[in-house]
Amino acid sequence: MIQKFKQLSRKIVDTNVIFQYCKDQVELPDGKVEEYIACVHKGASAVVPVLPDGRILMVKQYRYAIDRVTLEIPAGGRDSTDEPFERAARRELEEEAGYTTDEELTHLITIATAIAYCNEIIEVYVAHNLRKTEQHLDPDEFIETEPYSTEELAEMIYDGRIQDSKTIASLMAYINKYCHNSLT
């Protein structure tokens, strides 16, 4: 039987707007003590925005860490660990994509992004009956939006043009659950 590790201590090395970087001392099931690195995250939300014609509204933005422009679904971190995930998804839909909806969002999947060293969870929702508002970008965000068919998005996943893991998992789950076309 697999046993949990026992946290003996935690030292917060750094804190920023995205996560806390921690060094933990943990006791392994065999009694050995090891140091583990952990990134503690508030959690995030993402949304698959479905336009009336069935196309998905995607966001294009430059990602500094990988030095390239990416195509993603709208997403962002929660403001606090108390903020409901759906509220964060609605906020990101309007901030990044410039759309809102009066309907309840439908939960699609839960993603653990980097389970070896980070506790970040992204709750992904689907939004229908979108109403155009305007983007409310953060000062460091420069985002363009563009709609794509599910067929175009699947092709871009398979040929490597879409590489963002939350976007791939979310689009594949959406296509599998809501579309009657093949993923291959």
Tens of pLDDT, residue by residue, the chain (184 residues): 999 999 999 999 999 989 999 999 999 999 999 999 999 999 999 999 999 999 999 999 999 999 999 999 999 999 999 999 999 999 999 999 999 999 999 999 999 999 999 999 999 999 999 999 999 888 888 999 999 999 999 999 999 999 999 999 999 999 999 997 555 4
CA 147, CA 143: separation in Å to the nearest integer?
13
**What sign does the CA torsion over 159, 160, 162, 165 have?**
positive
Strand-pairing partners, residue 100, are 131
With beta carbons less than 8 A apart as the criterion, state whether 48 and 127 touch: yes
pLDDT at 35: 97
User: What is the pTM for the complete model shown?
Assistant: 0.93
Q: What is the pLDDT of residue 139?
A: 85
Q: What gap in Å lies between CA 13 and CA 2, rounded to an integer?
A: 29
Class of domain 44-178: alpha beta
Q: Where in the chain is the domain with CATH 3.90.79.10?
A: 44-178
Under 8 Å between Cβ of 134 and 53: no
Q: How far apart are CA 62 and CA 45, in angstroms?
A: 19
